[in-house]
Structure 1
């Protein structure tokens, strides 16, 4: 039996609040029970974020799961993304997380280091199949040499361009090249657009573009120990790259504010957008009638021949350290990630399936197939994923975006922005 319920109200918990009570939430060695009975009647809870469409897909997946495991009853709940994590924060403080959870990469270190998640290593290659999952995918869920989550799907950083908009202004698609080449191309589109269409946004407002440049130079945003891989001088240099773009090339911040909650790209006011490759379906949906395809190409290159790109999980599945049924929970996780039925049911709803078994069974729409082809095309640029984000990474990512907004408005100097970011970073890294 699978029940899908909506929460009646959101719990007011500050985003990113420290799990002060979580340290006593258990953990330790998590060996499979020696007397595990695979036919025992058990009930486990499953929590995920999403909407009614995803909930119906989970309904189908649980029905298929119960055909193979009729003794495992799954009670599932879903919420929107912010409400989902508010509820998890409350449960973490009280020691009552669901048995199985859809999980976000940015919270993995916070929850695992507070002993809230089950060590999955004893189940790998046993209950949880590892053959369909490449090692670099499995490594994504590792924190401090322990596996705490398994990716359901992957995505990579890419550059979307809109062929309809480009045809309208009479400019060819970006042919690739350096960041300078990209800025020059954006300028051509903006000039041809006559104040109605812009080439794209100020790419220095996104921390991911800074990370790509750092990785190309052999550095990183943050090490496993939380040490930054850049100094004030390097960040200053990056933000100063955007000076020319902010002076009439990139779409102005005022336009962004006017179009919110949509943006210049998914309202056809911009020809390009640097973002995660799984955002394409959402863009097409927002663009609406007359827009049937997008171009997806690799981002600008900082230095040829480097592995600056990497695969990131769209989402993962994790298990509570306090679950009373670890084997049944691991069985459900394996089914949701690796089974052909899961691939057939979910398709690309959760991103491109990370499991080869699930991917082979998935029926992909043209844009999802385009993402698969894109990730194959950038294999030479794909390096190891960076360490699981530090606790507080979300706060720093948002601060970076806010400062980029101020720079785009012209209400702050680059020097002041750098000072503010390093002050925020000092607080986050030393809390």
Structure 2
């Protein structure tokens, strides 16, 4: 199921969980029909994610409102692709929500065009980040000012259907698995024909996170510190060629099947039971396990060779920012502080958005984590030499470059361009985008 503008309206008081799950239209009607409290302050919040994230977020908001009588919260969530299109429209129109879920790759862009507000004046009073890892606090800074608060640390990962590997008596991918090893495993799973139209792994050719990991293993990066591309057409051509060979071997699905994945948990080919391996962020294990009947486990991305350094890094899974034109900036900062520090809220939120940044919250959760939470914590903290330094925030045009990369990769998958021609075209387009946006 793909989520489009799923909205829940809160008022200070109780709204039955069953009413929310009955559907967004019914919930909207309930929210509008119920009279607001006098002098009520209302906050609007928008975030991307799955039904699981929405339920946890709304439960935490319920707790916040109980602790802050007279405050209402309007919550809205969408799938990843729809989210950024809508947020761009809202910020351009000056009517974005007060609280905005922000991604590390977009924070420079939104801060640079004045769409989100610096939060420095709230730190130490309204906004508490005293026991956060300083590096994670810095991940929300642009040009020395704080524009986002990390909601948890994570790293990229493969989501692996453990049952398929056990059924075929194949070794699970691990820290020693190379791309050559992975290619053979994926092809063997497809060839086993355990079910109709089932492939060893999803096609990751347009997944920028895997591409970045691949580049970092080669001593390169997506972007330089001054916001230019840090790779060349040969790197991209080799990348497209690698996936073309996997496609030809049947290890990954053809383009038309892969396009069924709309880049969210609900439409992932793993959730659709069409592949044994998909690619995501480690915190998304919560949602994958909820939507998949077979057991799903985490694995790192493969190495180029057994001797290659890893391409992983620990990053903010996502951040909360405040709309620059919000009339409720202080109240929004107060909500964010509650979200990342309150122990009761932490019990509800768990590790679905990553490993909490507050050491107090981590300590409180450590003894209460379920098996999924423990698996995520073990993965992020156990990357070892697979992980290196967090790269600089991508430049403000990175979102447009990503769209070009995905479009180009899809073209190669459908056979409309060769790997070399597509690579050169993409590098040229990316350079033009970055030049135009500087």
TM-score, normalization by structure 2: 0.78
Residues 2 and 416 of structure 1, relative CA distance in 2, 3 Å threshold:
farther
**1:172 and 2:175 equivalent?**
no
For the residues of structure 2 that align with 1:118 and 1:128, how far apart are their CA atoms? 14
Please name the residue that 1:302 is paired with.
304
Alignment of 1:72-221 (within 5 A): 73-81=71-79, 85=84, 88-175=87-174, 176-193=176-193, 196=196, 197-221=198-222
Q: Could you give the per-residue CA deviations for residues 259-280 of structure 1, whole angstroms, max 9, x where no partner exists?
A: 6564543344422223322333
Q: 1:267·1:286 contact (CA, 8 Å) conserved in 2?
A: no
Deviation at 1:301, TM superposition (A): 1.8
Deviation at 1:194, TM superposition (A): 7.2
Q: 1:342·1:358 contact (CA, 8 Å) conserved in 2?
A: no
For the residues of structure 1 that align with 2:422 and 2:297, how far apart are their CA atoms? 33
Deviation at 1:151, TM superposition (A): 1.2
Q: Could you give the per-residue CA deviations for residues 129-183 of structure 1, whole angstroms, max 9, x where no partner exists?
A: 2233212221221112221000112321112221211233332323433222222
Q: 2:303·2:310 contact (CA, 8 Å) conserved in 1?
A: no
Q: 1:42·1:325 contact (CA, 8 Å) conserved in 2?
A: no
**1:330 and 2:329 equivalent?**
no
Structure 2 SS opposite 1:265: coil
Residues 60 and 246 of structure 1, relative CA distance in 2, 3 Å threshold:
closer
For the residues of structure 1 that align with 2:397 and 2:90, how far apart are their CA atoms? 19
Please name the residue that 2:316 is paired with.
313
For the residues of structure 2 that align with 1:195 and 1:55, how far apart are their CA atoms? 33
Deviation at 1:324, TM superposition (A): 4.4
Alignment of 1:219-258 (within 5 A): 219-253=220-254, 256=257
Alignment of 1:32-51 (within 5 A): 43=41, 45-49=43-47
Q: Could you give the per-residue CA deviations for residues 15-49 of structure 1, whole angstroms, max 9, x where no partner exists?
A: xxxxxxxxxxxxxxxxxxxxxxxxxx883523123
Please name the residue that 1:347 is paired with.
350
TM-score, normalization by structure 1: 0.79
Deviation at 1:195, TM superposition (A): 8.2
Structure 1 unpaired stretches of 5+: 9-40
Q: 2:110·2:396 contact (CA, 8 Å) conserved in 1?
A: no
For the residues of structure 2 that align with 1:178 and 1:52, how far apart are their CA atoms? 34
Of 351, 370, 373 in structure 2, the residue corresponding to residue 368 of structure 1 is: 373
Q: 2:50·2:287 contact (CA, 8 Å) conserved in 1?
A: no
Deviation at 1:69, TM superposition (A): 4.4
Structure 2 SS opposite 1:301: coil
Q: 1:200·1:271 contact (CA, 8 Å) conserved in 2?
A: yes
Structure 1 stretch displaced more, 157-166 or 196-205:
196-205
Q: Could you give the per-residue CA deviations for residues 336-356 of structure 1, whole angstroms, max 9, x where no partner exists?
A: 112212201222343443333
Deviation at 1:258, TM superposition (A): 8.6
Q: How much is the aligned-residue C-alpha RMSD, in angstroms?
A: 3.3
Please name the residue that 1:396 is paired with.
401
Q: Could you give the per-residue CA deviations for residues 275-319 of structure 1, whole angstroms, max 9, x where no partner exists?
A: 32233344334433xx2x222122212364745211233321112
Deviation at 1:374, TM superposition (A): 0.7
Q: 1:240·1:414 contact (CA, 8 Å) conserved in 2?
A: yes
Q: 1:253·1:405 contact (CA, 8 Å) conserved in 2?
A: no
Q: 2:115·2:324 contact (CA, 8 Å) conserved in 1?
A: yes
Structure 2 SS opposite 1:117: coil
Structure 1 stretch displaced more, 223-232 or 47-56:
47-56
Structure 2 SS opposite 1:373: helix
Please name the residue that 1:19 is paired with.
none
Structure 1 SS opposite 2:153: strand
Q: 1:157·1:277 contact (CA, 8 Å) conserved in 2?
A: yes
For the residues of structure 2 that align with 1:279 and 1:184, how far apart are their CA atoms? 26
For the residues of structure 1 that align with 2:177 and 2:167, how far apart are their CA atoms? 23
For the residues of structure 2 that align with 1:58 and 1:253, how far apart are their CA atoms? 36
Deviation at 1:7, TM superposition (A): 9.1
Residues 231 and 89 of structure 1, relative CA distance in 2, 3 Å threshold:
closer
Residues 329 and 253 of structure 1, relative CA distance in 2, 3 Å threshold:
same
For the residues of structure 1 that align with 2:190 and 2:87, how far apart are their CA atoms? 44
Deviation at 1:66, TM superposition (A): 4.6
Matched length: 395
Q: 1:117·1:321 contact (CA, 8 Å) conserved in 2?
A: yes
Structure 1 SS opposite 2:316: strand
